[in-house]
Amino acid sequence: MADNAFAIPAVADVAPYGSDNLFARLRAASGDDWQGFCRHAFVLGLGDGSLPGAAFRHYLVQDYLFLIQFARAYGLAAYKSDSLHDLLAASHLLSAIVDKEINLHLDYCDGWGLSQADLAQVAEDLATTAYTRYVLDRGLTGDLLDLFVALAPCVVGYGEIGRRLAEDDNTRWYGNPYREWIEMYAGEDYQRVAVNAVAELDRLFHERGGAGRFNALAASFGQATRLEIAFWDMGWRAGR
């Protein structure tokens, strides 16, 4: 892995965040869809640097709009909280997006020639609307567990994608315009986010779940994964 700045421990491809947890069960239940998400042509193009710049810029704009809706999802998590622990956790996640992540994303977009004014002028793509509103719907009609399961393909999935790319011998580091993106999701800070999200799913399942809920949760996770695939498809088409 030439010019690799990381020292991420090798992990089993089948369970990068453990095998004895709710996320691993949901991941397994999603079958080929999970591989279609994590090994999408868009993702492989990030790894070897071949992704057209137009595709990535379109993705960046939509990801900005995506973040705004994710902030709303964590606002909904605060509303759905029935304990101080859950309320504080939701408040922290909401603040992290509004006070930090959106500004970091704006700075990153600026490096790709996209100003905040540019981002504000673009309408949501249907793929962006579909996944983000699906997440909000699951939270509105269900509980915190339903909401966080619908969020998991994004929150944990990006961590898995980052790890995969960092460990992949086919990933190009020198001269890769997407190196910073890979570094972000493979890096320690985001990997901690993913690990914490996996642990939170287990906590919520222990408190609110049970065997009878698994099939419905797996269906929600599977749909969210397919909507994430559609989000990659959206970016991929923009570069054709």
Whether 10 shows a pLDDT value over 80: the answer reads no
Mean pLDDT on 201-206: 94
Whose CA is closest to 159, among 199, 203, 204, 192?
192
Confidence class for position 20, pLDDT limits 50, 70, 90: confident
Q: CATH code for 27-238?
A: 1.20.910.10
Dihedral in degrees, nearest 10, Cα atoms 205, 210, 213, 218: 50
Task: Determine contact, residues 112/59, Cβ cutoff 8 Å.
Answer: no
Q: How far apart are the first and last CA of the chain?
A: 29
154 catalytic residue (yes or no) = yes
Q: pLDDT tens-digit profile of 83-126?
A: 999 999 999 999 999 999 999 999 999 999 999 999 989 999 99
CB of 108 closer than 8 Å to CB of 56: no
Query: One of 154, 160, 167, 200 is an active-site residue; which one?
Result: 154
The three-state DSSP-derived secondary structure of 108-147 is HHHHCCCCHHHHHCCCCCHHHHHHHHHHHHHHHHCCHHHH
What are the structural domain ranges in the chain? 27-238
pLDDT for position 15: 62
Task: Answer whether 55's CB lies under 8 Å from 239's CB.
Answer: yes
Q: Is the pLDDT of residue 9 over 90?
A: no
pTM equals 0.91
**Residue 53: pLDDT above 60?**
yes
User: Is 228 among the residues known to form the active site?
Assistant: yes
Nearest residue to 90 (alpha-carbon basis) of 69, 72, 74 = 74
Chain mean pLDDT for the chain: 91
Residue 11 has pLDDT above 60, yes or no: no
